[in-house]
Amino acid sequence: MTHKNKISYIDIGFAVRQKMTEQGITISWLAKQVECDRGNLYKQLHNRHIYPELLFKISIALETDFFMCYSDCVMKFLKTSIENPRSATLH
């Protein structure tokens, strides 16, 4: 029996919300910083995916490289696929 190593995609909206909580940042404050409607930003942050341009602005405002979350996921996947090419699958 073969077990496949699955690499899940990151929920970037959750990661941003978590950082906001850590820093005591409100949606209203962040919306002003990224020049985005508060309601639209709220919706974006409750999705697993955020447009790259918006994520860039959020990264600057929160002084956190959220793109690194994706890079870490890619590196883990590549490491798994190099160690065992037949077992690495995207999930």
What's the CA gap between 7 and 41, in Å, rounded? Answer: 27
pLDDT tens string 17-48: 999 999 999 999 999 999 999 999 999 999 88
- pLDDT at residue 90, as a whole number: 57
Rounded to 10 deg, the angle between the 67-83 and 12-23 helix axes is: 130
- Nearest 5°: phi and psi at 89? -135, 150
Q: Is the pTM of this model over 0.75?
A: yes
